[in-house]
Amino acid sequence: MRVTSPHAHGPLSTAEVMRAVLIASLPGIVALTHFFGFGVLVNILWACLVALGCEALALALRKRPIGFYLNDASALVTATLLAIAMPPGSPWWLILVGVAFSILIAKHLYGGLGYNPFNPAMVGYVVLLISFPVEMTAWLTPAGVEATNTPGILAALQACFAPDTIDAITMATPLDLLRQNNSLLLEDLWLQTPQYGRWAGIGWEWANIGFLIGGLWLLYRRIFTWHAPVAMLTSLALMSAIFFDGGSSASGGSPLFHMLSGGTMFGAFFIVTDPVTSAVSNHGRLVYGALIGLLIFLIRVWGNYPDAVAFSVLLMNFAAPFIDYYTQPKTYGHGGSEG
Amino acid sequence: MRKVWDFHGGIHPAENKYQSLHTPIRQAGIPAQLTYPLSQHIGAPAKPIVEVGQQVLKGEMIARADGFVSVPVHASTSGTIVAIEERMVAHPSGLPAPCIVLESDGRDQWVELRGIDDYHQLDKPALLEIIRQAGIAGMGGAGFPAAVKLGVNPQAGKIETLVINGTECEPYITADDILMRERADEIIGGTRILQHLVEPTETLLGIEDNKPEAIAALLAAAQGTDVEIVVIPTKYPSGGERQLIEILSGKQVPSGGLPANIGVVCLNIGTALAIYRAVTHGEPLISRITTVTGEALEQPQNFEVLLGSPMRFLLDQAGFQAERSTRLVMGGPMMGFTVMDDEAPIVNTTNCLLAPTETELPPPSPTQACIRCGLCADACPASLLPQQLYWFAVGKEYEKLENHKLFDCIECGACSFVCPSSIPLVQYYRASKAEVLQARKDLAKSDHARLRYEARDERLERESLEKEAKRKARKEAAEERARQAAAAGNEAEADPIQAAIDRARAKKAAAQQAASDQPPTGETPPADAAQLAIAKAMAARATNSGQSPLEKAEAKLKRLRERLANSETKLQQSQAADADDTIINALQSALEKLRPKLAEAERELASLQEQNEA
Amino acid sequence: MYELIAQYPFLAALVALVGMGLCFGALLGFAAEKFKTEGNPISEQINAILPQTQCGQCGYPGCRPYSDAIASGDAAINRCPPGGEATIAQLAILLDVEAIPLDEEHGEEEQAAIVAYIREDECIGCTKCILACPVDAILGAAKQMHTVIVSECTGCDLCVEPCPVDCIDLLSEETTVQSWHWDLPPPTIIATDRESSLADEEKAA
């Protein structure tokens, strides 16, 4: 057969990359399940089913071989990431709408894997947040607060598929409270808040640490480079350090708080690193990550939404080609070190 | 330890070199037929200087270099030339190319060789000429004529560093490794000749750290010389000329430029060895070491093979099992190309023949979509963005490809190696380079064609203007002449048109009179007849003016009688010749008209005669 | 007057807008005169993109008339077969219009470069082809041998018809080892319709 060189190939394949991402999200999922109940798992499983169904539908309509494309696990990754971002105990139709929008519109309408300019999971999340703000901000009370019983499997399934029959007890997240606060010193605020854990919200801090572990493992496996996540975390920490005045009522929260709250670690290692929608060169990724971190802080503290990872990422997805244009690496022989 | 730098990117594929290093170099022997492509190098193909049927000796030149950037070809064994024609050669296209075919006679008889004992006595041009005539081109895989590389213009700058490339970074290939183990002395000898030629400030022999035996052998051979053996970390593609220079000197060769621009000259150890043998023994380049390896062979090993031997010859000796092999690759797994016909000949750039099984080098997986992971950019030794180049290649955006430095790609294959979606990136770049070059050529051609078209338009316009101008000039000249003639009083010249009209009218009138004077004849041209008539009329007028009435009447009668006689004769002739009725009728009617006129004229004369007598 | 304007803001707005209009109008008029371009520069740019085969397949007598027609909006950009898809794409980018597929009425896109060859045995030296060639690529004179200057021939086809003995062939150039190059890989094979991808494979085989 006539084939072009090279004839040897490295060990990595797209399916393996996707599988590695899924495995890396496990520690975070475990932490979330522990603190918020099995609703997380039900979310994920239902989202995965819907995702596979939507992807199969889209592939059939586009006349592609379904088995081959489903095998690359990219739909599963999108579904898992979206499900993690949604409140546990979300109704089944909420997840359906979100996942269907992500897969069908934000991914396949643009041409399928590799062709979408915007992160599909984040597009789905934002659509849901804007269309169903009440359901999307109904976070359950985490375990460890007072005498909460996190839902068991059956309760979780019921919450998902028969939502009207359950009365969930929800509670504002620490980020919500921080935003609404304008009178108390932060230390006092946290003393008052039962859902404040050691460094940030109960459950949230451990979930973030879980995602951090997963992300470090992905770095070790060289699934992505350190530039984007490190830039994002650094810039977020820097911004919050600059504007942290010791915890006054107008303060935006300490750097540690921001690091371990909401979707910070999850965003840093699973959303910002999405290769399809980020900048192309390593220098570009530094800029991309840094600006995301900046935007997250700005929107969290002065914007209308408590958590801002999704919006920041989508805004920077817009800017990625522009960043690419200005951050081309210096090619060999073009003004590199010439002795 | 000498400082070494690093180049960006690079990969670490499985080395797979141990398989072919079990045995020392084995002599491949003489095949029955050898084929010498005329183009085994970069530059113009060589021109044959032998004829079919000619007997040649081993080492005899059979094709001479054509031009400056070219290399001669020598027979690698003695025998008879049987053909000079197109034969299958080892090329990714699978197309044939012109070759000289030799049938060996088994005697392997050398041509007379003349080695140089002390090359220090020779000046550089003489040494370069020896190297050139020995047919030495780069043996690392590119095949650039060595004499051209070494003869680089000194005005380009002094060569500071001589680099000898012993890295052999590609997996599977061990030809250079075994050469360094077994013939380190000759390699160092060749290096010292090059030192004499190039006069560098430092000489570095770069070698990867996965070849400990070779390093030891070279260190031993280089004792007492100033050739420095530099051991560098194993990474693909550190053997690329530009990458090796960056590793050893920290400097980058400018894009589109030569290493000589930064004072470096780089040659493969095989080339250095060939130069040694050419200078000291007078031997032209007629053989090389080729690694034959892969799991579809029973005994993978290194052969010293005569150039021009068919690949089949080597494969058989290594125990090739065709049913287990999926493809035959000339070169290594990263930059080699598949060979369709194993009868193709070994040339001076064949460093390896790879015969893998399906499990060893599986066929490429189906290509998936690019997920923009950027692993390719991390691996690229030229710091390119292969991902962007891929997107632009698919979209055929030639300008953007050039902006992203497509032509700096060295086609090493590191990007395709790491791509998780199995995209054949190198093929995209090769095809795009060809397309961009073709687009440039097409643009030049279309600009040229447009200029020619515009020139032709201009020419046609110019010609029609000239015609117009000439016509006007003629008209003006005629008018000028007319004016001058009018001033001189020459009527005919003053108004030539009017004069022409008058002439025509007169001719017409004379013709009519001549016609009525005589019966119409079809023979006399009217012009002559008209003129005759005019002359007659004028003569008649002249004579008439001096005559008395009686004389006039007599003359008239005489004329009329003549006319009658003529008419009668004519009528008779016509009747005898049985002419047209109309003619006969006309003649008869003319005759009838004449008779009364004649009668009247007679009466007139008679009355005048009576008056005179009275 | 200022009091009047101050009293009726409507007047102020009117005065301001009319004043600005007159000002800018004058400026634009002046600029239109001072910076007026000679000829039609867009036609030059279009002509630079066209392949200059001067074959007339577009329906215009040459590339320059076609480019003038495009510039004035009389012709569509998809009428040039020798230029093919690449030219249409470039024209679409230049003129900021949609790239439409080649109008097959005017001929199909040739894949390989073609060059005219005169069979010299049969040439009668009539000079009809010389007069027809738009780039003067045929060498010859009346009653002398005619031959095509291969490097100048654009393969436009205009010489074939006038030849009374039909001795002109259009041949495509052969690929040699030197001129061969890799083709772009097929698009992800699985990315086309299953049926058509199989058909493509059969065609390529």
- Tell me: do A142 and A182 sit in the same domain: no
Domain membership flag for residue A306 = yes
- Tell me: do A251 and A102 sit in the same domain: no
Over residues B191-214, the pLDDT tens digits come to: 999 999 888 999 999 999 999 999
- CA–CA distance, A228 with A288 (Å, rounded to integer): 7
C114-172 fold? Alpha-Beta Plaits (3.30.70)
Q: Does A63 touch chain C (CB under 8 A)?
A: yes
Minimum CA–CA partner of A275 in chain B: B373
Q: Which residue has the higher pLDDT, A317 or C110?
A: A317
3-state secondary structure of C154: coil
- CA–CA distance, B414 with B8 (Å, rounded to integer): 12
Mutate to test the interface with A, among B3, B236, B373, B425 (most CBs of A within 10 A): B373
Instruction: Give the pLDDT score at B329.
Output: 92
Query: 0.80 exceeded by the pTM?
Result: no
Within a 13 Å sphere around the CA of C101, how many CA atoms are in the beta-carbon half? 3
- CA–CA distance, A99 with C153 (Å, rounded to integer): 60
Residue A52 neighbours by CB under 8 Å, 6+ apart: A70, A75, A76, A79
Chains contacting A (3+ CB pairs below 8 angstroms): B, C
- CA–CA distance, A74 with A111 (Å, rounded to integer): 14
Burial class (CB in 10 A: 0-12, 13-18, 19+), C108: exposed
Taking residues B23-52, what's their average pLDDT?
91
- The C-alpha angle with vertex B320 and arms to B316 and B323, in degrees rounded to 5, equals 135
Nearest by CB to B453, which of C54, C177, C178? C54
What's the token pair of residue C85?
């898809």
Q: Which of these, B353, B351, B345, B349, lies nearest to B37 by C-alpha position?
A: B345
Q: Which sequence spans correspond to the domains of chain C?
A: 41-106, 114-172
Q: Does B365 touch chain C (CB under 8 A)?
A: no
**Shortest distance, CA A65 to any CA of chain C (angstroms):** 7
Instruction: Give the pLDDT score at A119.
Output: 93
Q: Which domain holds residue A63?
A: 12-171
- CA–CA distance, B328 with B317 (Å, rounded to integer): 15
- CA–CA distance, B5 with C205 (Å, rounded to integer): 48
Does C193 contact A63 at a Cβ distance shorter than 8 Å? yes
Domain membership flag for residue A329 = no
- Tell me: do A26 and A165 sit in the same domain: yes
Domain membership flag for residue A54 = yes
ipTM of the complex, rounded to two decimals: 0.85
- Band the pLDDT of A337: cuts 50, 70, 90: very low
Does A63 contact C194 at a Cβ distance shorter than 8 Å? yes
Class of domain B121-282: alpha beta
Over residues A214-256, the pLDDT tens digits come to: 999 999 998 999 999 999 999 999 998 888 877 776 777 788 8
Give the amino acid at B448: H
Domain membership flag for residue A337 = no
Q: Kindly list the residues from chain A whose CB atom is less than 8 angstroms away from the CB atom of residue C196.
A: none
Q: How far is CA A60 from the centre of its chain?
A: 29
Over residues B503-554, the pLDDT tens digits come to: 888 888 888 887 676 555 555 555 566 677 777 777 767 666 556 777 777 8
Final residue in a domain of this structure, among A146, A171, A196? A171
Q: Does A4 touch chain C (CB under 8 A)?
A: yes
What's the token pair of residue B166?
């012993």
- Tell me: do A200 and A268 sit in the same domain: yes
Number of structural domains (chain A) is: 2
Over residues A99-146, the pLDDT tens digits come to: 999 999 999 999 888 899 999 999 999 999 999 988 888 887 777 766
Q: How far is CA C20 from the centre of its chain?
A: 43
Does C177 contact B93 at a Cβ distance shorter than 8 Å? yes
Tell me which of 3.40.50.150, 3.30.300.30, 3.40.50.261, 1.10.15.40 is the CATH number of domain C41-106: 1.10.15.40
**Shortest distance, CA B572 to any CA of chain C (angstroms):** 57
Residue A39 neighbours by CB under 8 Å, 6+ apart: A87, A88, A89, A90, A140, A151, A156, A159, A160
pLDDT at C173 over 90: no
Q: Which sequence spans correspond to the domains of chain B?
A: 121-282, 368-466, 547-614
- Tell me: do A286 and A266 sit in the same domain: yes
Nearest by CB to A1, which of B338, B368, B381? B338
- CA–CA distance, B326 with B323 (Å, rounded to integer): 8
- Tell me: do A274 and A289 sit in the same domain: yes
- Tell me: do A40 and A133 sit in the same domain: yes
Q: Which of these, B301, B316, B333, lies nearest to B19 by C-alpha position?
A: B301
Residue contacts between B and C (CB atoms, under 8 Å)? 86
Specify the DSSP class assigned to residue B110. Answer: B
- Tell me: do A199 and A282 sit in the same domain: yes
Cβ(B105)–Cβ(B94) below 8 Å: no
Over residues B63-96, the pLDDT tens digits come to: 998 888 889 999 999 999 999 999 999 888 888 9
Within a 13 Å sphere around the CA of B471, how many CA atoms are in the beta-carbon half? 6
Over residues B249-298, the pLDDT tens digits come to: 999 999 888 888 888 999 999 999 999 999 999 999 999 999 999 999 99
Residue A16 backbone phi and psi in degrees, to 5: -65, -40
Residue B479, Cβ neighbours under 10 Å: how many?
A: 10
Cβ(C107)–Cβ(C80) below 8 Å: no
Does B327 contact A3 at a Cβ distance shorter than 8 Å? yes
pLDDT at C143 over 60: yes
What's the token pair of residue A239?
């911004």
- Tell me: do A46 and A145 sit in the same domain: yes
Minimum CA–CA partner of A277 in chain B: B372
3-state secondary structure of B472: helix
Q: Does C67 touch chain B (CB under 8 A)?
A: no
Q: Which of these, A180, A85, A95, A102, lies nearest to A137 by C-alpha position?
A: A85
Domain membership flag for residue A331 = no
Instruction: Give the pLDDT score at B172.
Output: 93
Q: Which of these, B108, B97, B133, B99, lies nearest to B56 by C-alpha position?
A: B108
Instruction: Give the pLDDT score at C194.
Output: 47
Within a 13 Å sphere around the CA of B413, how many CA atoms are in the beta-carbon half? 22
Within a 13 Å sphere around the CA of A129, how many CA atoms are in the beta-carbon half? 20
Instruction: Give the pLDDT score at B173.
Output: 93
Minimum CA–CA partner of C185 in chain A: A4
Taking residues A290-300, what's their average pLDDT?
92
Q: Which residue has the higher pLDDT, B238 or C205?
A: B238
Q: Where are the alpha helices (DSSP H) in B45-174?
A: 124-133, 146-150
